Amino acid sequence: MIRVKQMLLALFLLTISLSPFAQGTSSKNQLPKGWHLLDKEKDGVYGISLEKAYDFLRMKNLKSKTVLVAVIDSGVDTLQEDLKQILWVNPGEIPGNGIDDDHNGYVDDVHGWNFIGGKDGRNVKDDSQEEGRVYYQYKEQFENKNIRRDSLNAEDRDHYDMWVIARKKIMNDDGVSSSVDLLMLRRVVNACIKSDSILQKSMGRAEYTGNDLDSFQTSEVDARTAKSILLFLFKENKIMDMTNTTFLSEFKEQADREEKKMEIKETAPKNYRAEIVKDNENDINDSLYGNSDVMATDPMHGTHVSGIIAAERNNGKGMNGIADNVRIMMIRAVPNGDEHDKDIALAIRYAVDNGAKVVNMSFGKNLSPEKSWVDDAVKYAEAKGVLLIHAAGNDSEDVDSVGNFPNPVFKNSTLRANNWITVGASSDPMAEEGFKSYTASFSNYGKKEVDVFAPGTRIYSTLPGGNKYGNLDGTSMAAPVVTGVAALILEYFPNLSPAEVKYCIEKSVSIPAGKIKKPGSDGELVSMSDLSESGGIINAYGAVKLASTLSGPKKKEIFKSTLKKGRD
């Protein structure tokens, strides 16, 4: 996750204008690859103690049962060496025959389904932000009108409240001139692309990491300048072990989002989805759209997430996933931009109807105009015994008081889903040099709305390209850590309900000693119990050990103990 900040960009421009050959101090990552799987006592880092969990399961002579996990995301590289053997294969579908063999309404859905694709084979890559869509949808109704909120009916009140939030987010972006920001952003992106081209030629390689760049020496003036430009951003973002290709991909996507935010102040967003998907987006019952291309345009995010959960273990390739007997069903519903509620609701239903027991949702947005559709899908999953796991978001905000959608709280109700886990990102002091905490500096948090933290910085996993791997940051990486542990529990204890799996995860957390830093702060110290309901970091060993104790009448007692206020 590349965090584009105005101060960083200004500092960058100032730095390269004053000293094109400036060199910073080395910030090589001291964390081992796959640190998130390790054990604090044995390895000295706050991982999830996965090997201890497997040792416990072996000691108990337990046998695993295959668990189907749905990943609602951007897509997956179906040829990735560590993933191709663990992808779900729909047993009722004959690949490539153009027939809906299993009669579920989706033709050739061999590995899952793509809800943001067209029947002509095209796919949505970019999309707008939800606040832009909401703002312009209701602008004519509410802009410059003397609105008395208490005089509106319930539906219009909901629309008005959303519109006010959208307008504030669009019009009050940091109170800084967007034209200056946009100019700087374009200059930075162009400088990075040009610098990368120069460095590839000078280094004689198409791919390199920040650490490779730091040790690269050259007498060529252009290459030295290019090095100073890219090395500055690698170091400032603490991504020295990220590759240039991953960096540029993430940075360009983030820059595109920032540009869209700036442009949206003057112009309604383009309806990217409509011209490709061609469904009636206002009708949830118009559900048989999309295509079977689950790789599509840019599967980096979904490929990385899938590897964290279940990359083939102990095969001598790349890295190990968390769960050892899982099949991944990819449901493509997340573009570069904000997802649409209809696609998410139908993706959840598709996962449930096709046998998934856990659903990973590493995405999120500020508003949910069709939340009732998503709520109905969540209730459907709850009734069918399917666990939903969602990333808390990367804005360093308290989601007890700001919107983060989807969420388990049902619209216009105090009731909430029992089959839902919201995940914040934990870290290790060695992961973020400028923050040095067991929390990730970017993570959202919430004493009520975030259930648990899990490792989310410098997470090493699969990338597209057949045999590529790399580190990414975000609560998007923390959520699949929890999903992997949940799947592991269900492999060996398949009779547990979603609420019981959640109980095992929350009640077995590791709690860092003393105070930790509040994300987004300048170092404010708080207890981890102030940032999440469980007050700790997921521990796979503790979770499977607790799962082994659940039986008989105690289950009802445990189920009741997991209910938050207002759930029953």
Residues 515, 516, 518: CA angle, nearest 5 degrees: 125
Please provide residue 101's backbone torsions phi and psi, each rounded to the nearest 5 degrees. Answer: -60, -35
Please provide residue 91's backbone torsions phi and psi, each rounded to the nearest 5 degrees. Answer: -70, -20
Q: What is the pLDDT of residues 60-84, one digit of tens each?
A: 999 999 999 999 999 999 999 999 9
Virtual torsion, Cα 206, 207, 210, 213, nearest 10 deg: -40
At which residue do the structure tokens 């609560």 appear? 475
The pLDDT of residue 3 is: 55
The pLDDT of residue 181 is: 62
Q: What is the pLDDT of residues 306-315, one digit of tens each?
A: 999 999 999 9
The pLDDT of residue 551 is: 63
Q: What is the pLDDT of residues 515-532, one digit of tens each?
A: 999 999 988 999 999 999
The pLDDT of residue 25 is: 32
Low-confidence ranges of the chain (pLDDT < 70): 1-29, 173-182, 433, 551-568
302 close to 76: Cβ distance less than 8 angstroms: yes
The pLDDT of residue 27 is: 40
DSSP at 194: H
Q: Which stretches of 396-514 are assigned E, i.e. beta strand?
A: 420-426, 452-455, 459-463, 468-472
The pLDDT of residue 18 is: 37
End-to-end Cα separation, the chain, in angstroms: 38
DSSP string, 89-117: --TT--TTSSS-TT-SS-TT-SSEEETTB
pTM: 0.87
